[in-house]
Amino acid sequence: MFLMIGLICPLAVIASPGLCTGPVCADDITRSAKNHWQLVLKLNDQLGHREKVVMNCRAGQLSPISGPVDRAYATSIGRRACRLAGEG
């Protein structure tokens, strides 16, 4: 599927809102010379807590580091996305 998308629009790197894996949804991905790749994730849990966090691919960690929603799964998803983007 990714190969077909890459053939249709090879210059676009887009994380669509609603691209979800369990309780983690990709909201945005950006790249700048200063911050490298940054992935914005929306997290939620079974208790109804919701948060928006940023995965800094250069540092390999989420910001903010702690909060009401568990970050272990989001951290692993974010690190994998960073590796796929070629950084991390």
Per the structure block, which two tokens stand in for 81? 């996305």
Q: Residue 35 — very low, low, confident or very high, per pLDDT cuts 50/70/90?
A: low
What is the pLDDT averaged over residues 45-69? 91
The model's confidence at residue 71, banded by pLDDT at 50, 70 and 90, is very high
- Residue 73 CA to residue 3 CA, distance in Å, equals 26
Mean pLDDT score, 23-38: 84
Claim: this prediction has a pTM higher than 0.85: no
pLDDT over 50 at 48, yes or no: yes
Mean residue pLDDT of the chain comes to 79
Widest Cα–Cα separation across the chain: 41
CA nearest 58: which of 78, 36, 39, 40? Answer: 36
